[in-house]
Amino acid sequence: MARGINSVLLIGALTRDPELRYTPNGAAVLSITVAGDSVVTDLGGDVRSLPWYQRVELVSRSAETLQNQLKAGSSVLVEGKLDYQSWENEQGERRSKVIVRANRIDPLAPNDRSEQIITDKVGGYRLLDAINQTVISGNLARDPVIRHTQNGHSVASFAVAVTESWKDVQGEWQQKPHYIDVTLWHGLADAASGLQKGDPVMISGRLTNDSWTDASGQKRYSTKLEAERMELLQRRLQAEAQQPAAPLEPEPVALPKAAKPRNRAAA
């Protein structure tokens, strides 16, 4: 499996104060929840604002400094990747989650953005006209599941295995797959009906969260990528697919222009 694309860009507000902890080897880990509203256009042409919340972690020497700089309501830029984690709980059940692993967290310069910060029903903060963009490429980890809503709209779901490649301290190549759940609607869902496990794809869209209560009464959460665009990729030669690609140097990210501030409104 060749190395995939795994890129996340968020601009939002901290819902609450950041948290700082340390790993057993002493590394500082900053944990924040970034929230915002995404402006989307539905099938009827109506523009809607949809809230989102994303858990972000940064392992860095700058984590302690950022904890002192940031507070609830601070606006930040986050650049990073999706990180798939799995484990067994005390009952021996397999559990997994996907978080945003930040490469960098930059506080945004103060301006009239205060008019774009709103509070939700539980007192957390969100940023209006936020940015929630993710691009991944990899191979389908399972066949798509296609269903239809009561209104007849097509919905497809599948998981994409995105492979991360790196060299360890001994100079040996290592690989880790990140399994990202993807949801596709309408025409994209219809296009996905012809796919099967192993097909290579590129997906771009926005991150969403689901929550539910399982059979044991435990609250469960999941992070999914809601597709806005899908591209089918050609299969690489088998010999090339078995050789991990050398990491690429990061390229500058062109950010969209800041949106015109809106009037303050309660969520």
Determine, yes or no, domain membership for 95: yes
Residue 82: the pLDDT is 96
Residue 45: the pLDDT is 65
DSSP state of 114: G
Q: How many domains does the chain have?
A: 1
Determine, yes or no, domain membership for 169: yes
Q: Are strands 219-232 and 173-185 parallel, antiparallel or unpaired?
A: parallel
Residue 249: the pLDDT is 44
Strands (E), the chain: 6-14, 19-22, 28-41, 47-59, 75-88, 94-107, 117-119, 125-127, 131-140, 145-148, 154-167, 173-185, 200-213, 219-232
The conformational region for residue 123 under phi > 0 = left, psi -120 to 50 = alpha, else beta, is left
Determine, yes or no, domain membership for 85: yes
* pLDDT tens-digit map of 1-10: 456 899 999 9
Task: Sort 217 into a burial class: Cβ within 10 Å, 0-12 / 13-18 / 19+.
Answer: exposed
- Residue tagged 């044991």 (tokens): 216
- State the residue range of the domain holding 42: 6-241
Determine, yes or no, domain membership for 41: yes
Determine, yes or no, domain membership for 75: yes
**pTM passes above 0.85:** no
Q: At 180, which CATH number?
A: 2.40.50.140
Residue 180: the pLDDT is 95
* pLDDT tens-digit map of 17-28: 999 999 999 999
Residue 2: the pLDDT is 56
Determine, yes or no, domain membership for 247: no
Determine, yes or no, domain membership for 205: yes
Determine, yes or no, domain membership for 89: yes
For the chain, residues with pLDDT lower than 50 are 1, 237-242, 245-267
Q: For residue 72, what are its two tokens?
A: 């609830």
